[in-house]
Amino acid sequence: MNDDFDDLDRALFALPLEAPPPGLRASILNATVYAPEPRIAAALARPWELWACGAALAVAAWLVASIVTQRAFASAFTADVLATVRPFAEPMTLSWIAVGFVLAATIWYLGDTTLRLPTRSVRS
């Protein structure tokens, strides 16, 4: 390809790039790295947690639908639930559950407060 554009090439290469409008970088960063995370995504950081929540919700929806639509299922389910829950109503079991809950809450609280990185300010 015969190319005789020396002057044009020189002029094109010398043409300066226009500066982006002020505030563009800040708006990009605000929309990306500094964008507030959605509440669910923030609470559930890992994909398996989302899957677990989805599965639990699906089971709950199935149970509600079954109880509402089938009377026999409702009575059998109620009996099953009562049989399952009864041992938990004993004082010793309840106290162990309370201890476990307090321990879990303490670990979660400590992990949440000490491992979080400080929020950075946005450069303009």
| 50 is a site residue for other proteins (CB under 8 A) | no
The least CB distance from residue 116 to other proteins, in Å, is 13
In the bound state with other proteins, the residue whose beta carbon lies nearer, of 72 and 117, is 117
- Give the one residue of 32, 113, 114, 121 binding other proteins; rule: CB under 8 A: 32
Tell me: does residue 24 bind other proteins (CB under 8 A): yes
Residues 6+ apart with CB under 8 A from 66: 73, 74, 77
C-beta of 33 vs 89, nearer to other proteins: 33
Least spacing, CB of residue 22 vs other proteins, in Å: 11
Cβ atoms within 10 A of the Cβ of 44, count? 15
| SS3 track for 26-84 | HHHHHHCCCCCCCHHHHHCCCHHHHHHHHHHHHHHHHHHHHHHHCHHHHHHHHHHHHHH
Instruction: Kindly tell me which of 2 and 113 has the beta carbon lying closer to other proteins.
Output: 2
116 binds other proteins (CB under 8 A): no
Instruction: Check residue 45 for interaction with other proteins (CB under 8 A).
Output: no
Contact indicator for 94, 105 with CB cutoff of 8 Å = no
* Binding status of residue 63 toward other proteins by CB under 8 A: no
Residue 82 structure tokens: 């009562």
